[in-house]
């Protein structure tokens, strides 16, 4: 079987409480303000790829976004963006729909997006 390197990625998993030196192939980069306070910290790959397959910090697998520590943050952001998009597109229908019709639309369109979070819990 041949691997498609353009559609694949290497994602290194680690403990959620892993320190800077505990995750192989990744290093922690912090963004600081002018006073030295840490604004944001992200894990970045130390090398670009392994045998042509890129090392990634997050990966979408079967509709679920995975990161190296298996947190839900990015998945929740994606659910929020998608549900806002659906609300904007379906607003003409939802503005005149009954409560039962709105509940059915939510169960059909938005609730399945949360099934992926059950795995990351």
Structurally, how many domains does the chain consist of? Answer: 2
Q: What is the torsional sign of CA 61, 63, 68, 69?
A: negative
Q: Are residues 21 and 35 in the same domain?
A: yes
Name the residue with tokens 């997006």: 113
60 lies in the same domain as 3 = yes
Same domain, 77 and 59: no
Residue 87 makes CB contacts below 8 A (sequence gap 6+) with 94
Q: Write the pLDDT tens digit of every residue in 29-77.
A: 777 777 877 777 677 777 888 888 888 888 888 878 888 778 888 888 8
The string of pLDDT tens digits covering residues 15-29 is: 777 665 677 777 777
Last-in-domain residue among 29, 53, 69: 69
Instruction: Say if residue 36 is in the same domain as residue 14.
Output: yes
Same-domain pairing of 52 and 9: yes
Residue range of the domain that includes 3 = 1-69
Which pTM value belongs to this model? Answer: 0.64
């Amino acid at each position: 079987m041949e691997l498609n390197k353009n559609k694949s990625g290497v994602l290194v998993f680690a403990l959620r409480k892993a320190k800077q030196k505990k995750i192989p192939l990744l290093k922690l980069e912090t963004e600081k303000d002018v006073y030295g306070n840490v604004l944001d910290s992200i894990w970045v790959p130390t090398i670009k790829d392994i045998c042509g397959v890129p090392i990634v910090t997050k990966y979408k697998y079967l509709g679920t976004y995975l990161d190296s520590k298996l947190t839900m943050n990015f998945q929740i952001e994606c659910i929020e963006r998608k549900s806002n998009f659906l609300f904007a597109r379906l607003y003409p229908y939802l503005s005149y729909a009954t409560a039962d019709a709105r509940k059915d639309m939510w169960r059909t369109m938005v609730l399945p997006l949360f099934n992926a979070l059950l795995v990351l819990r």
